[in-house]
Structure formats: structure tokens, C-alpha cells
Amino acid sequence: MPKLMQQLWDSYDLEVIPRDALITQRQECRRAFYAGAQGVLGLLNSLFDSDREPTLADIVLLETIHVELREFVADVKAGAK
């Protein structure tokens, strides 16, 4: 399963964060990026129209993001990120 948020982060890292940024700065930016993504996921979950059943594509996309965000949090807690 592709890590969609990782791909977005990699793009952000390449395009936004200075190459000479300290490791701490890069780590804090990455954590903030993923926290923002978690907020967006929560928002999307609350916006589903109650008159419409989610499609399989909706469910797969949200689950993919959810799993990746859970993995990131676990890695941060373990000191790996």
C-alpha cells in the first residue's frame, strides 16, 4: 500500500525546507506536517454527507491515510522520527 502522506512530505521537504536546516528543525516540521494531515483526516471524516453512503474508494483512501498516520505516531513515540 503506498504511503501517500510520505510522498507529500517528501515533496514538501524538497521544495520548502532549506537543505541546510538542522535535524531538529526538519523533525519538528515533519511532525507539524503530519499533525496537520491528522486534522484534515478528522475534518474529512466529519464532513461525510449523512445522505450518502461512502464509496469503496472513499473508505480505502481514508483507511490508507489513517494507517500511515498511526504508524508515524508510533514511530515518533518510539523515538524513530
Q: How many domains does the chain have?
A: 1
Q: Is residue 25 very low, low, confident or very high in pLDDT (cuts 50, 70, 90)?
A: very high
Mean pLDDT over each residue of the chain, to the nearest integer: 89
Tell me whether residue 21 is in a domain. no
Task: In whole angstroms, give the CA distance from residue 37 to residue 35.
Answer: 5
Q: Which residues form the domain of 68?
A: 4-14+27-77
Tell me whether residue 44 is in a domain. yes
The DSSP-derived string for 4-15 is HHHHHHHHHHHH
Q: pLDDT (tens digit, 9 = 90+) per residue, 34-65?
A: 999 999 988 787 767 667 788 888 888 888 88
Are 65 and 41 a contacting pair, CB within 8 Å? yes
- Predicted pLDDT at 45: 79
- Predicted pLDDT at 50: 66
Res. 9: pLDDT tops 90 = yes
